[in-house]
C-alpha cells in the first residue's frame, strides 16, 4: 500500500533497512550521500537518532522532487547513560560488547519522513538483555562478523544475537535498524 502514491526514496545503504522496507511491501529507490554523523554532546538517548535522521534528511531537501517521499533513519545503542555508535576499531568493538555483556541496553531507531513540503519524525525504543559473554565469544564474533557498521558492535540477526540476547522488550525489527510497525503506520498517515 503506497502512501498517497509517493515515489519512495530510502537514503540508507543498510541491507537490513532495505530488506525490511521491501518485506513490508514497498518499492523504493536508494539514494546515498556521505554525511558526517556528528551530534551535539548534550543529546541523550532518543534525541541522538532523531537529530541524526533529520540531519541526513536535510541533506536531500534541495533535490527532492514533487511526489517523492524520502526516508532516513538512524540507530543508536544506549547503555548506562552513554551512546554506543559504530565501533571504529577492534578494541572499541570489544569494549562495547564487554559493556553490553550481562546488561540491559536500549536500542533507539529514529526515522524521518520528508516530502517537498512536509516532514515527520518518530522513534522506537527496544530493551535488549544480554547474557554474560566470554572473551572468546566476543573475539570470535568480532573476528568472524566484523560488526564495524553496526551500532553497539552487534547485529541481532547475526551470531551474537543468536547466542547473546536473552530477552527483548519491544520490536526486534527496531533492533535490526527499522521500526517496521511504526514506519508502516506513519507512511499510511503521511
State mean pLDDT over 53-61: 96
Pairwise CA distance, residues 122 & 109, whole Å:
9
Question: Beta strand pairing status for 165-169 and 118-130?
Answer: antiparallel
Tell me the whole-structure pTM to 2 decimals: 0.93
Domains and CATH numbers, the chain: 7-189 (3.90.950.10)
Whether the per-residue pLDDT at 1 is higher than 80: the answer is: no
pLDDT level of residue 9 (50, 70, 90 thresholds): very high
**DSSP β-bridge partners for residue 123:** 110
pLDDT in tens, 71-112: 999 999 999 999 998 999 999 999 999 999 999 999 999 999
pLDDT in tens, 105-161: 999 999 999 999 999 999 999 999 999 999 999 999 999 999 999 999 999 999 999
pLDDT level of residue 4 (50, 70, 90 thresholds): low
Region of residue 5 (phi > 0: left; psi between -120 and 50: alpha; otherwise: beta): left
Mean of per-residue pLDDT scores for the chain: 95
pLDDT level of residue 30 (50, 70, 90 thresholds): very high
Whether the per-residue pLDDT at 2 is higher than 60: the answer is: no
Contact assessment for residue 128 and residue 168, using Cβ atoms and an 8 Å cutoff: yes
pLDDT level of residue 5 (50, 70, 90 thresholds): confident
Among 29-38, 50-59, 95-104, whose mean pLDDT is lowest? 29-38
pLDDT at 22: 95
Active site residue 74: yes
Which of 27, 58, 74, 149 is catalytic? The answer is: 74
Whether the per-residue pLDDT at 3 is higher than 90: the answer is: no
Amino acid at each position: 500500500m503506497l502512501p498517497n502514491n509517493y515515489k519512495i526514496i530510502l537514503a540508507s545503504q543498510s541491507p537490513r533497512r532495505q530488506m525490511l522496507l521491501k518485506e513490508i511491501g514497498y518499492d523504493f529507490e536508494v539514494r546515498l550521500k556521505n554525511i558526517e554523523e556528528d551530534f551535539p554532546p548534550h543529546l541523550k538517548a532518543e534525541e541522538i537518532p532523531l537529530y541524526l535522521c533529520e540531519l541526513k534528511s536535510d541533506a536531500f531537501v534541495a533535490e527532492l522532487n514533487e511526489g517523492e517521499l524520502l526516508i532516513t533513519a538512524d540507530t543508536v545503542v544506549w547503555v548506562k547513560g552513554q551512546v554506543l555508535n559504530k565501533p571504529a576499531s577492534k578494541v572499541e568493538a570489544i569494549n562495547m560488547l564487554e559493556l553490553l555483556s550481562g546488561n540491559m541496553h536500549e536500542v533507539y531507531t529514529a526515522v524521518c519522513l520528508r516530502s517537498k513540503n512536509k516532514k515527520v519524525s518518530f522513534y522506537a525504543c527496544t530493551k535488549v538483555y544480554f547474557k554474560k559473554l566470554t572473551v572468546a565469544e566476543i573475539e570470535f564474533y568480532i573476528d568472524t562478523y566484523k560488526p564495524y557498521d553496526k551500532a553497539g558492535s552487534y547485529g541481532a540477526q547475526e551470531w551474537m544475537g543468536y547466542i547473546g540476547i536473552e530477552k527483548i522488550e519491544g520490536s526486534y525489527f527496531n533492533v535490526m535498524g527499522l521500526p517496521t510497525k511504526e514506519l508502516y503506520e506513519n507512511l499510511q498517515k503521511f
